[in-house]
Chains A and B, each alone.
Chain A
Amino acid sequence: MISGALRGLRLAGWNGAMLAPALALVGVFVLIPSVVTLAGSFFAFGITSSAWRFVGLDNYLQAFADPIFWVALRNNIIIIVGSIISQVGLGAILAAILDRGIKRGSTVYRTITFMPVVISSVAVSLIWLMIYDPNVGALNALVKAIGLRPPRLGWLGDPSISILMMLVTAAWANVGFQMVLVLAGLQAIPKELYEAAALDGARGLKAFWYVTLPGIRNILVVGILITTIGGLKVFDFVFVMTGGGPANATQVMGTYIYLQAFTLGNMGYADAISIILLLIALALGVAQLKLSRRG
């Protein structure tokens, strides 16, 4: 009896010791900061000031009345929707072609398409910053070469197209990842299914619709969720390529939080926007769990 209790205690001590480092790190740098952010969102305070002034829901009301907050949120949504269409869409099409459409060179195509995934996002941003540059950029030169006129304010300087230009860069960087994801799913579909479908008269597009699509449904859901969460958290491309400009036109939630907290020093306000971002992310996380459980 006593020895059993002792063994139980030792087991608890052992489990605790094995879990402690993970819990300590996640607790100190993820969970506690989330709670502190929530608390801070009800106060007004700056980077250096130790005085926290309670302001209730003012920071949230300020956000809802702040046109730049809505621009940032809208840009996140544009990036999410645009990325799902361009990255998941193109990735799935390319994967389908590599899986069954072509016979030679699929490894070479896969390697090239996947390559940008390992390039740092800052390097990607700098390369594309130069391509879009109005003076030395390749895009201006190419557009002029075919007799068209490039945008007067520059590809990134024109607020109406700068977000689109970022979508192109993001697609360049991420399509390969989506393609490989879908390709793995396609290769897991048993060949017999296609043979059975062919016996029933389903070939080509019909086979794609009735065999391929149901077979990769779960993978597509995962790809869409990864893209959605990535679009919500986007920071590097925007920060390096435009810094949120011109005139806040390309601001996203991530860069706006950074601007408010560390450039303008409105940390309480930044916390309120952070909590809004966190709530959206948690909702997406729950959706991910629900959807992956069904699959």
Chain B
Amino acid sequence: MPRFRIISIALHLLVSVWALFVLAPVVWMVLAGFRTRADIFTQPLGLPKSLGFDAFVRAWNTGIAGFILNSVLVTVASVGLIVAVSSVAAYVLARSDHPALKWIYVLIVASFAVPAQSVLVPLYQIISGAGLLNSLFAIVLPYAAYGIPFTTVLFYAFFLEFPRELEEAARLDGCNRLQVITRVVLPLSGSAMASAAIFQAVFVWNEFLLALLLLTDKRIKTLPLGMLNLRGQFSADWPAIMAGVTMVTLPMLILFVLAQRYFVRSLAGLGK
């Protein structure tokens, strides 16, 4: 089987080249944080000469802790709101055959196609008109609005396949409509909820455009803006910029490797 061996080695080589191409910038990012400005300038491809954390301290002092806190608050609030609002809406849409609901469903699907880029001007006017610029509360609302259509469609498909017999049995046992949802449907929808939550959390955590538009006060900025802030503050101090990016990115990567099964399942669910 020598021909088979050669093909197999060639295929391994091909995926290895891509894996190296993906890994190299990440390794380079981490190493750059440990180097000095002068050193990186004279020898771009060199290795760190010592394990100094100076650049990490410089980056941390730009307020990264605050950016992380803001991002955690915004992500938890947005994802919670998206999942709660979408699940009840999808349940009604999947269980009722009122003709008006069909149009509401079409409207929600249509809003899924509207890019945030094409409503920037009125969005800015609505938020600033309501006096809500630079409020973490304000950014949660548009994030929820942009997450709801996709999540509702996802849950709608899930509830259509949910066994109605279980709900009817609960009704016979004396549950009212709300109890059927809170005691029977929701507890059995955990995996769908988790998938949707992970997907939306990755989106909100990394969202940049709306944050750029609506959060200008440094105390209220989320992580993507905080990282851009590093570039503005340090301009050519690449070790400090990369140290900052490393501190933000590495925990996410570790979390991903530990829970990759769930991430991959959630994000690849888009294809269904």
Contact = CB atoms under 8 A, between A and B. Distances in A.
A254 B116 CA distance: 9
Interface string A78-120: 0000000000001001100110011101001111111111111
Interface of A: 11-12, 14-15, 18-19, 21-23, 25-26, 28-34, 36-37, 40, 90, 93-94, 97-98, 101-103, 105, 108-123, 126-131, 133, 135-138, 140-142, 145, 172, 175-177, 180-181, 183-185, 219, 222-223, 226, 229, 232-233, 235-236, 239-240, 253-254, 257-258, 261-262, 267, 270-271, 274-275, 277-278, 281-282, 284-285, 289
B172 interface: no
Contact of A277 (B14, B29, B117): B117
Given A118-B253, A120-B248, A130-B242, A274 B44 contact: no
A149 to B, nearest CB: 16
A143 B45 CA distance: 11
A108 B23 CA distance: 12
Interface residues of B, number: 94
Given A102-B15, A122-B208, A40 B121 contact: yes
Contacts of A113: 15, 18-19, 22
Contacts of A15: 92, 96, 98, 101
From DSSP, what is the main secondary structure of chain B's interface residues? helix
B115 A40 contact: no
B140 to A, nearest CB: 10
B137 to A, nearest CB: 13
Contact of A236 (B18, B110, B209, B213): B209
18 contacts: A26-B107, A33-B126, A113-B19, A116-B22, A118-B252, A120-B223, A120-B224, A121-B208, A127-B29, A131-B25, A135-B236, A136-B44, A176-B22, A236-B209, A270-B120, A271-B121, A281-B114, A285-B112
Contact of B45 (A37, A97, A128, A141): A141
Contact of B104 (A23, A120, A184): A23
B49 interface: no
Given A240-B228, A274-B118, A219 B108 contact: no
B28 A37 contact: no
Contacts of A112: 19, 22-23
A34 B22 contact: no
Contacts of A271: 121
Nearest to A254: B117
A184 B268 contact: yes
A110 B267 CA distance: 14
